[in-house]
Amino acid sequence: MPDRETGGVRAARPARSRPIRPARRAAPQPAPTAARRPARFTVGDVHAALDAFAPFRNAAEWDNVGLLLGRPDWPARRALLTIDLTDPVAREAQRHGAGVVVAYHPPIFKSVRCVGPEADGPTTLLADLLAERVSVIAVHTACDAAVGGTNDVLLDAVGAVVERRPLEPLRREQDTYKLVVFVPQASVAAVRAALSAAGAGVIGHYRDCSFELAGTGTFRGDETTRPAVGRRQVLERVAEVRLEMVVPRARLAAAVRALYAAHPYEEPAFDVYPLHELAGRGGAGMGRVGVLAAPLNGRALLRRLGTRIDLSAATVIGSLARRFGSVTAAAGSFGARGFRDAGSLVLTGELKHHEALELERRNVSAVCLGHHASERPVLGRIAERLRAALPSLDIAVSRADRAPQRPLRHAQRKGASA
């Protein structure tokens, strides 16, 4: 470095000679810890495993799920699971060398104006996590809608459930249409082949898929027509086949052109229907209804639930003194819109005052477990699924994750700083 007095460069000091000593036998080294092992998995692997369990595309439209912070190619030796990514949880992730935090609630929800100390949201440490290459993945309503997800965990805690179905099945519009065309019997094979060549009739790994239904078509052409069958201005009855094939959105125009080219009629009759898909083969959706093996008293159901779910902050709407044939689980802030069956005990996170009044009017009984308490049990299920998919990934459930609200008796017993 430059010398302060001369402004030149200091001469390098000669290295001190040291006697060469015999090499000591190396002391036995401890087994490498998880932090020292090279990462077998990436953040993208964790994201893919979560997506296989709770597809992100099934989340509510207003939600913000998936990879919110970091890069999919970053290494992930350890994963920390939490309901909320607060400052204490972020510091826990830093202490334990987590490469990815799987947060139930998205820490980035609204438009982001900054990620520094003045940042909105549950944590001010997003910049610190990013600097240490800690990624964040949020699951939220994708996990709520999943088969085996948040609400199934609540039903598992109740037990004795023999049948399950979504309270609100998840239906979404596909990028696929159904093309229905009416063809004379002799031309069915040619029209089907033309449509298949244009990209229609593909279902999964199967091609040339179609359905035929025989019937009778009628038509009467005016004086300007040149009908392929029959005469103009005469009502004709022709044996035809209703031919149905699915067509991807990207191939729809090509399929229609192929239809016109291959069909013998001057004006082919055909319909195009947009298709909708029920996610999870009809099993995925918001809320979960579990039919009980036999009707049970509400208090008995609550005792079962209390063996596996924290009921310290739970409140009740309606009566538990009657018997229920099913349980409806809807964790978090689901609202009261779907709770109309008086024979089903509702398990939810929280309800607003006017929503509780509405349930009373409908004679629907509900147990509000607390927002955090209704969702926290799913972290164990997420850990199970990640361990099954990524066996050598170190997975921990956050100890710093806490409900922001707690019963007053707990606060008085443990002190204001608890």
Question: 307-347, pLDDT tens digit by residue?
Answer: 999 999 999 999 999 999 999 999 999 999 899 999 999 99
pLDDT band at 4 (very low <50, low <70, confident <90, very high): very low
Task: Assign 3 a pLDDT band (cuts: 50, 70, 90).
Answer: very low
**Confidence (pLDDT) at 229:** 76
pLDDT for residue 16 is more than 80: no
Percentage of the chain beyond pLDDT 70 is 89
- Contact yes or no for 329/347 (Cβ under 8 A): yes
Q: List, for residues 339-370, the tens digit of each pLDDT value.
A: 999 999 999 999 999 999 999 999 999 999 99
> What percent of the chain lies above the pLDDT cut of 90?
74
CATH class of 32-146+375-401: alpha beta
Confidence at residue 263, expressed as pLDDT on a 0 to 100 scale: 96
CB 104 within 8 A of CB 84: yes
Which segment of 203-207, 236-240, 374-378, 388-392 scores lowest on mean pLDDT? 236-240
Please report the pLDDT score of residue 217 as a whole number.
87
| CATH 3.30.70.120 given to domain 172-280 | yes
Confidence of residue 18 (pLDDT cuts 50, 70, 90): very low
245-273 pLDDT per residue, tens: 999 999 999 999 999 999 999 899 999 99
**Residue 19: per-residue pLDDT:** 41
Closest CA to 310 of 403, 412, 414, 411: 403
Phi, psi of 391 (to 5 degrees): -60, -35
Among the residue ranges 99-103, 132-136, 168-172, the one predicted with the least confidence is 168-172
Q: Is the pLDDT of residue 32 over 70?
A: no
Domain 32-146+375-401 and domain 147-152+160-170+284-369, same fold? Reply is yes
pLDDT at 413: 64
Q: What is the pLDDT of residue 412?
A: 62
- Residue/partner pairs of 323-326 with CB below 8 Å, 24 or more apart: 323/295, 323/296, 323/297, 323/298, 324/292, 324/295, 324/296, 324/297, 324/298, 324/365, 325/291, 325/292, 325/295, 326/289, 326/290, 326/291, 326/292
**What's the one-letter identity of residue 351?**
L
For residues 182 and 201, give the distance between their C-alpha atoms in angstroms, rounded to a whole number: 16
Q: Count Cα neighbours of 44 within 13 Å in the Cβ-side half-sphere.
A: 4
pLDDT over threshold 70, residue 222: yes
Ordered by start, the domain boundaries in the chain are: 32-146+375-401, 147-152+160-170+284-369, 172-280
Strands 171-184 and 236-248: antiparallel
What average pLDDT does the segment 385-409 reach? Answer: 93
Which of 99-113, 217-231, 331-345 has the least mean pLDDT?
A: 217-231
Which is more confidently placed, 81 or 237?
Answer: 81
pTM: 0.78
Could you identify the residue written with the tokens 């000091």? Answer: 13
In the numeric block, which tokens belong to residue 115?
């990620």
pLDDT at 34: 41
Mean pLDDT of the region 118-133: 92
Q: Domain 147-152+160-170+284-369, CATH 3.40.50.150 — does that match?
A: no
Give the pLDDT confidence score for residue 289 in this predicted structure.
98
Backbone angles phi, psi at 414, to 5 degrees: -95, -10
Q: Which residues contact 241 (CB under 8 A, 6 or more apart)?
A: 182, 183, 184, 185, 188, 212, 213, 214, 215
For residue 37, the model assigns a pLDDT of 52
